[in-house]
Amino acid sequence: MNTLINKTIAVTGGAGFFGSYVVRKLKEEGCRDVFAVRSKDYDLVDNAAVKALYRDIKPNVVIHLAGRVGGIGANQANPGKFFYDNLMMGVQMMEQGRLAGIEKFVAVGTICAYPKFTPLPFKEENLWNGYPEETNAPYGLAKKMLLVQAQAYREQYGLNAIYLLPVNLYGPGDNFDPASSHVIPAQIKKFVDALDSQADEVIIWGTGTPTREFLYVEDAAEGVSLATAKYSKGEAVNLGSGFEISVKDLAHLIAGLLGFKGRIIFDTSRPDGQPKRRLDTSRAEIEFGFKAKTAFEAGLQKTVDWYLANRNSLK
């Protein structure tokens, strides 16, 4: 039986891309009292708003997904804001949750927390073996502090706080705003725009050599749901697919799915970000039975199809 069915669950960022899938998954699993916490209702950077959230919703379980996020460009433009907002949201949500006597706090971190030159595949015990990649270090470190806080609160207060590390997510409903989007939606939009304008070339940031691992958003939501129900230890847990692709190969794959036959140019004056990313996902499978199901090209096709069907409403 699902141990979460009779719990009141607050999902911060629950109306966002990832959060909406987590909320849907919890409801599919039979959870009746699931609240999608929206930033327009509760500004989690403001401690008074965080206190109001706990007072209003009275959650037994909190899944903290909310964050100030973006791609390399957005991180470079807003390092201070990304650090402060993400740090304050997480610190205050966990502290006020402790004071409110919640049963469980699920902190969802980021792969950006890993050191820049982490050996492949990334193992959870490598988290502290160096400084993160510089372009997103302020964001990654702010999210990494949730792990420190979760372990400290578990030790001192007995708070059942867990920490999950999802790899780059993608899927229908992703953020396609070029000012803040990640690599898959950014590339899809570039190729579609090129087809619309009959351009014969598309420019991609960086050298194309870095590799990335991607996890389909529905799979990620299942991972969070399983961990929330079944995992109660202090060690961080990776959520990934175990699949790795270079930015160059990704661009050619997306171009092929869309039928773009022009040139793909890599702007080497732009930063690459972290050189390589692929996770060791064995701990999630051992601890709570999570294994990604969606083949990358199938998930990518669904994402492309969704964007083509919805792009006019996104403008």
Q: Catalytic residue positions?
A: 139
Q: Which residues contact 278 (CB under 8 A, 6 or more apart)?
A: 120, 121, 122, 211, 213, 240, 242, 243, 244
Q: What is the DSSP string of 58-101?
A: --SEEEE-------HHHHHH-HHHHHHHHHHHHHHHHHHHHHHT
In sequence order, which residues have a C-beta less than 8 Å from that of residue 265 and are 6 or more positions away? 201, 202, 203, 204
The residue written with tokens 């929330």 in the block is 228
Structure tokens at 59: 């959650």
Q: Is 208 in a helix, a strand, or coil?
A: coil
H helix runs in 233-291, sequence order: 247-258, 282-288
CB 65 within 8 A of CB 12: yes
- Cα(10)–Cα(243) distance, rounded to whole angstroms? 31
